[in-house]
Structure 1
Amino acid sequence: MKQLQKGPMAGRTVLVTGASGGIGRATAVGLAGMGAHVAIVGRDPGRVEGAAREIRAAGGGEVDAFVADMSSQTEVRRLAGEVLAALPRIEVLINNAGGCWDTRHVSADGLERTFALNHLAPFLLTNLLMERMLEADKARVVTVASNAQALGRIDFGDLQGEHAYSGARAYNQSKLANVMFSHELARRLAGSRVTANVLHPGVVNTRFGAEDPGTIQRVLVPFLRPLMKSPARGAATSVLLASAPELEGVTGCYFANGKARKSSTRSYDEAAAARLWRVSADLVGLGAPAWDAKPG
């Protein structure tokens, strides 16, 4: 017999990507503790199962675990199929998976990996799951960005960093893309029961960027770690956006430290956001979805 969950998120299903560690794992733990049926996604099978065990041990009840390399479009499409087969409802999607690399890496699809993982993966997954989310009484898309969005610029002439690559520039661009995607998604969902918001989690003490660290991460981060937020504190705004009753109907906003803030001026450029949507759809081979009342 399944355990009957109690709490403010009881009866609601939440999918969290990048949830085998760090902010994503803490987000899943927090929402499971509020009674949500949590489904988590991670790249490493062992770490994903470990996270699922932790959530269950903390009294989180029902937990589904999925494995996918989100930088691969084939994997994202397979994940979406598995999720749709396993979850009859999705009330919350938290696009949390992300990464940062000092040197240029290429994904399985031949795309610059930072852009592929941080932006194209949530763009594709959200689109593939949206019809299921629209079937819910009400649903929320929450995308984890970073205040690095303030330094970002969408370089449509060199989105993949083929001509001039900088790890910091690629990351900043991807985080601005997260914000612009969320704002554009909110516009396209206007009048529906699905909201879309984006957030800055703060500077959090995780393994982020450890695979290919830059100079700042190698030299400064070890000294700054005592001042960084814990993963649980870093997850607080994600948990809030996923669960707070007072945010029902709030959409198209950027949050930091639990409050709505202004994002960068560039993030409000609707023409650039629409262009980014079209370019992203081309890069992932996505036609105009049936749910999208604003195709093209």
Structure 2
Amino acid sequence: MSTPQLPFPDPEKIFSSWWPIIIGVAVGIFYAARQWLRGAQFVEDVKLDGKVVIITGGTSGIGYATALYMAKRGAKVTITCRDEALGRAAAEEMKTLHKQEVTVMKCDLASFKSIREFVEAFKKKEKKLDILINNAGVMMSPQALTEDKFDVQFGVNYLGTFLLTELLLDLLKVTGSSRIVNTSASASNLGEINFDDINMTEDYSPGQAYAQSKLAVNLYTLHLAHRLKDTKVIVNVANPGIVNTNGHRHLPFKNNSFLRLSFTPIVWFLMKTPSDGAQTTLLLACSKSVDGLSGKYYKDCTLSELTGKSLDEELQERLYKESVKWTGLEKKTK
């Protein structure tokens, strides 16, 4: 009994319409655009055995993806968090799903007291620090103050990062070839440091407060790179791009149920995943190509240029001196 033959498609009928070709081209363009929006990927093969790493805000988003990558490559990773229960849940998820161990420690960047307590506890268990990744931050949040009476965006994104880094510098220096990665954003180009009203109490704008905090991160990074020029510690800025994380929770497309549902396809297409957003941070933390480079700004795994106020050395110095006062930190020359 012969096997029935399936009819062969008639080429003339297929190509009598342009629709198959149009659909094929559209799908190809869509896929290419999506891949481009994901940004460059860090593909260098690295081993991090024995490296001691701190990642702030490692319970979700970019911090989680960064912690997972480093733990998989042998690093001894500590993630910091405000909520220890969320931190333990994130660590347990890494252990259960990915077979990776990380340590969780409480460190609330909105509290100078919490930062000092974390540093004291960390130094009791570790005698070196290879990589410090200042990833935690808040974005476009409503007007609010930290425990120390600073605008929450300026306090968390900048002052918390400043104090934590300064208190850990001794460990970073004794380690030798260590790295600091600070996280900024393109919004820094729109920022101004309002020394007369750092909390913007007279005319608060979530967008301007965010831009001010990220400009401060840029200024601090360049100032710190200069102070560390005679050491083996390097510090650089990572701009992760637009990433779909909980950091956007204060924006309408995240906190409004209807808009969140409506914008889901657009968000998926236009925004990076947390893993994609972590790529520039990973390059600055791990890549041999960054050896010896300090005070640089990277976006999409590519060396970019800081412009405008970020390069103002007088502004860098003034911000540093004021930050020492604001955080109660004794002034250091290096």
Task: Establish whether TM, by shorter chain, passes 0.5.
Answer: yes
Q: Which residue of 2 aligns with 1:3?
A: none
Residue matched to 2:185: 146
5 Å-filtered alignment, 1:154-169, equals 154-169=193-208
**Would the alpha carbon gap of residues 7 and 18 (structure 1) be closer, same or farther in structure 2, given more than 3 Å must change?**
same
CA distance change for structure 1 residues 70 and 7 in 2, over 3 Å: closer, same or farther?
Answer: same
Distance 1:156 1:214 in 2: 27
Counterparts of 1:136-215 in structure 2, within 5 Å, are: 136-210=175-249, 213-215=250-252
Aligned equivalents of 1:275, 1:54: Cα separation in 2: 43
Identity of aligned residues (%): 32
Deviation string 1:71-92 (CA, Å, 9 cap, x unpaired) is 1111111111111112221000
Query: Which has more radius of gyration?
Result: 2
Q: 1-side partners of 2:89 and 2:282: how far apart?
A: 21
2: CA distance, partners of 1:247 / 1:55: 28
Distance 1:8 1:240 in 2: 13
Which structure 1 residue ranges, 4+ long, deviate > 4 Å from structure 2? Answer: 214-221
Deviation readout 1:182-234 (Å, 9 max, x if unpaired): 11110000110100001110111111142xx2457657773541121010010
2:143 is aligned to 104
- Corresponding residue number in structure 1 for 2:67: 28
SS at match of 2:139: coil
Q: Find the aligned partners of 1:18 and 1:90 in 2 and give their Cα distance.
A: 17
Q: Tell me the number of residue pairs that the alignment of Structure 1 and Structure 2 aligns.
A: 283
| 8 Å contact kept, 2:80–2:107 | yes
Residue 326 of structure 2 is matched in structure 1 by 283
C-alpha distance 36-102 of structure 1, shift in aligned 2 (>3 A): closer
Q: Is the counterpart of residue 262 in structure 1 residue 305 in structure 2?
A: yes
Tell me, yes or no, if the aligned pair for 1:149 and 1:264 is still in contact at 8 Å.
no
Distance 1:111 1:172 in 2: 15
1:225 aligns with 2:267: yes
Match of 1:236 among 255, 259, 279: 279
| Distance across 1 between alignment mates of 2:253 and 2:194 | 24
Opposite residue 60 of structure 1, the aligned amino acid is Q
Offset, 1:68: 2.2
- Aligned equivalents of 2:100, 2:177: Cα separation in 1: 22
Which residue identity does 2:306 align to in structure 1?
Answer: S
TM-score, structure 1 as length reference: 0.91
Structure 2 residue identity aligned to 1:287: E
User: TM-score of the superposition, structure 2-length normalised?
Assistant: 0.81
Unaligned runs of 5+ in 1: 1-5
- Is 1:273–2:312 an aligned residue pair? no
CA–CA distance in structure 2, aligned partners of residues 142 and 54 of structure 1: 25
> What is the alpha-carbon distance in structure 2 between the residues aligned to residue 214 and residue 25 of structure 1?
21
In the alignment, structure 2 segments of 5+ residues that lack a partner are 1-44
Cα separation, 2, equivalents of 1:71 and 1:216: 25
Letter in 1 for 2:176: D
Distance in 2 between residues matched to 1:145 and 1:251, nearest whole Å: 15
Give 1:149's aligned amino acid: S
Amino acid of the structure 2 residue aligned with 1:259: T
Aligned-CA RMSD value: 1.8
CA distance in 2, matches of 1:264, 1:215: 30
User: Residue in 2 aligned with 1:60?
Assistant: 100
Q: Partner residue of 1:122?
A: 161
Deviations 1:234-262 (A, max 9, x none): 01111111100121111000110001101
Aligned match of 2:114: 75
Give the distance between the partners of 1:29 and 1:157, measured in 2 at CA: 42
Looking at structure 2, the residues matched to 252 and 246 of structure 1 have their Cα atoms a distance apart, in angstroms, of: 14
**Secondary structure of the residue that 1:15 maps to in structure 2?**
strand
How far residue 162 of structure 1 moved from its aligned partner, in angstroms, is 1.4
Contact residue 7 and residue 35 of structure 1 kept, 8 A: no
